[in-house]
Amino acid sequence: MDLTGKIAIVTGPAKGIGRATAEALLQKGALVAGWGRTAPEGLDHERFQFFECDVRDEHDVAEAFTNTQRELGPEIHVLVNNAGVGVMGDVDGFDSADWQLMFETNVNGPFFCTRAVLPQLKKQQAGHIINVASLAGTVGSEGMAGYCATKFALRGFSEALFKELRPDGIRVTCIMPGSVETNFNGGQPGAQPNPHKMQPEDIAAAIVHALEASAATMVSEIQLRPAQVKKK
């Protein structure tokens, strides 16, 4: 897909992968609608517009979609379901509110956003949905049961969705990064890039790669890992 002039929705654009993806799409000439609870500071671009939206609330999502079409145009070409949250901890004693928070954000959010845009994508018989999952959706890890469960769910949702929408000319890609240097789980990126972690821009580049694939190709899944590992 040539992204010039295309309308793209990116959830969770305030920082990290969402912010990097919005910036990468703008560099490619797209019009970007950022849906989130927090606006990205300093992202002042004539082709970027922020719409306050809690993806956990289906009514918020429906309103953001209506406002996006009104402000940017009726056609929607790209949806990047990026908004997510991770809370770590062993299952015994894990706070049920944190469990609900992760499922509402990481699973319900992509469902609500996808359901909102699908009628328009089917009308167009074209479009691309990107779901940002994680390598935690491929293998369980101790202390991460809740987060892994949500990302396994998102990966399954993505696989079923791509099979469901393939006849309509709509592509679905599941992006599964490993360690990325972001504010995930309360972490703070360092002044110098961590050589053992990927940068948000690396994931954004993979998303653009999937979007720009030829018309004959659909990239259904991408797994990304840091090139360097810590020596034991």
- Identified catalytic residue from 147, 152, 157, 184: 147
Report how far residue 71's alpha carbon sits from residue 68's, in angstroms, rounded to the nearest whole number: 5
The string over 38-74, giving b where at least 16 C-beta atoms fall within 10 Å of a residue's C-beta and e elsewhere, is: eebeebeeeebebbebbbbebebbeebbebbbeebee
Phi first, then psi: what are they for 84, rounded to 5°?
A: -160, 165
Asked if residue 95 lies in contact with residue 149, where contact means CB atoms within 8 angstroms, the answer is no
Cβ(154)–Cβ(137) below 8 Å: yes
DSSP 40: P
Is 126 labeled as catalytic in the residue annotation?
no
Compute the distance between CA of residue 27 and CA of residue 31 in angstroms, rounded to an integer: 10
Active centre residues (catalytic): 147
